[in-house]
Amino acid sequence: MFKKEMIAMLLAGGQGSRLGVLTAKVAKPAVAFGGKYRIIDFPLSNCINSGIDTVGVLTQYQPLRLNTHIGIGIPWDLDRNVGGVSILPPYEKSSNSEWYTGTANAIYQNMNYMETYNPDYVLILSGDHIYKMDYEVMLDFHKANKADVTIAAMPVPMEEASRFGIVVADNDGKIKDFEEKPEKPSSNLASMGIYIFSWQVLKEALIQLKDQPNCDFGKHIIPYCHEKGDRLFAYEYNGYWKDVGTLSSYWEANMELIDIIPEFNLYEEFWKIYTNSANIPPQYIAEQGVVDRCIISNGSEIYGEVHSSVLGGSVMVGKGSVIRDSIIMQGVRIGENCVIDKAIIAEDTVIGDNVVIGIGSEVPNRTKPNIYSGGLATIGENSVIPAGVQIGKNTAISGVTTAEDYSDGVLSSGETLIKAGDRV
């Protein structure tokens, strides 16, 4: 029988609806980040860098991009004879087939997968955080405390603590209590959604709660273990960790990468982030090109100006165009003499000449003010923006748009323009 000390289960099935048009066609973990990467690259790279070579990736929402990205795991060295990466979608069973209804339910439905590897410990991860963490150190902590469950937690400013799931622990890290988004938090240790379970404890809890609707780790499994008197410990983590669940936090996390010495440093040799990248050619900066405080990925060609931005691979920036404070993903083509301020432009979108993005005043988005905020203009993948139009702030665009979609050639701040159909 195979034996793996610890295997990882990576929850990658969520839509991430707060990323708006960015996740209209892909699951959040497959959204591009930091130029050449996708969000899931960070937990996957952490796994292999921590010596975990068996990773189950649970997918459900729009998994195509995720599946092609992960493949058989070659970029992360997760193509293994025993173990490696396995994609685990929901599947039909002889009775009682269902989707993954909650994080713990998804894990429960893959009990057989975990049993195959006969693990001592199971690491539960989510595919939507940007961080570097050595899970092996966390496992050592788990073992040293003879813990049943270890929850990674990080200190957050006290005034923000009421936005998180808070763990209250004593000096040794033993967890005394939980508070879910408390009004008056009694601790500032926020749970990061990273758990190590001793296998028997996890198995027992999953079986006990198998009939719990929408069974969730934070809401059901952890409280169950706590009430039962299991040894729960908080593993305090003090490095860089960023939830990129909203457009604003996603934009900020990208922008942090262009600081002179970024807090989250991709250039360190000893903890590399791996990704599946088809872009091999170098980038070209033309005679009249300007590159100032930005990161640009392989294969891009810059004929215009790029300031304070993050560019993916094979991006074309035409002559006379000026890009500022923006995230431009792989394969985007930007015409000539465009001015783009504070925009997020998803993959393979085509922007015509003389387009202006990010003008006007900050009017809240009319349909989804909570999603499209922060003054960002967000354009979904494979969209087309016709030449000469102007686009305001807090806007969202997706699909092939034509000049007729813009009254007087303008999409004013706060508007949303979603068209069906892909670019052909």
Partner 1 sequence: MRAVGIILAGGNSRKMQELTARRAVAAMPIAGSYRAIDFALSNMTNSHIQKVAVLTQYNARSLNEHLNSSKWWDFGRKQGGLFVFTPTITADNGYWYRGTADAIYQNLDFLRKCHEPYVIITSGDAVYKMDYNKVLEYHIAKKADITVVCKELAPGDDATRFGTIRMNEAARIEEFEEKPMVAHSQTVSTGIYVIRRRQLIDLVEHCAEEERHDFVTDILIRYKNLKKIYGYKINSYWSNISTVDAYYRTNMDFLRQDVRDYFFRELPSVFSKVSDQPPAKYNPGAVVKNSLVGSGSIINGTVENSVVFKKVFVGNNCVIKNSIILNDVYLGDNTYIENCIVESRDTIRANTRHVGENGVKIVVEKNERYAL
Binding site for partner 1 (CB under 8 A): 34-36, 74-75, 258, 260, 266-267, 272-275, 277, 280-299, 301, 306, 310-311
**What is the C-alpha separation between 404 and 395, in angstroms, rounded?**
17
Neighbours of 252 (CB within 10 A): 13
**What is the C-alpha separation between 387 and 406, in angstroms, rounded?**
11
Helix or strand run (H / E) with residue 10 = strand 6-11
Q: How far is the CB of 104 from partner 1 (least distance, A)?
A: 34
Q: How far is the CB of 210 from partner 1 (least distance, A)?
A: 41
In the complex with partner 1, the residue whose CB is nearer, 204 or 301, is 301
Closest by Cα among 317, 350, 315, 345 to 331 = 315
The H-assigned helical ranges of 50-100 are 64-70
**What is the C-alpha separation between 173 and 233, in angstroms, rounded?**
5
Helix (H, G, I), strand (E, B) or coil at 335: coil
Q: How far is the CB of 150 from partner 1 (least distance, A)?
A: 30
Q: 147's torsion region: left (phi>0), alpha (psi -120 to 50) or beta?
A: beta
**Are 10 and 55 contacting, i.e. CB atoms less than 8 angstroms apart?**
yes
**What is the C-alpha separation between 339 and 306, in angstroms, rounded?**
10
In the complex with partner 1, the residue whose CB is nearer, 40 or 124, is 40
Q: How far is the CB of 42 from partner 1 (least distance, A)?
A: 12
Q: How far is the CB of 254 from partner 1 (least distance, A)?
A: 11
Q: How far is the CB of 338 from partner 1 (least distance, A)?
A: 20
Q: How far is the CB of 403 from partner 1 (least distance, A)?
A: 28
In the complex with partner 1, the residue whose CB is nearer, 24 or 266, is 266
In the complex with partner 1, the residue whose CB is nearer, 288 or 370, is 288
In the complex with partner 1, the residue whose CB is nearer, 292 or 362, is 292
In the complex with partner 1, the residue whose CB is nearer, 172 or 287, is 287
In the complex with partner 1, the residue whose CB is nearer, 205 or 302, is 302
What residues contact residue 184 under an 8 Å CB cut-off, 6+ apart?
162
Q: If 0-12 CB within 10 Å is exposed, 13-18 middle and 19+ buried, where does residue 385 land?
A: buried
Quote the tokens at residue 226. 């706590």
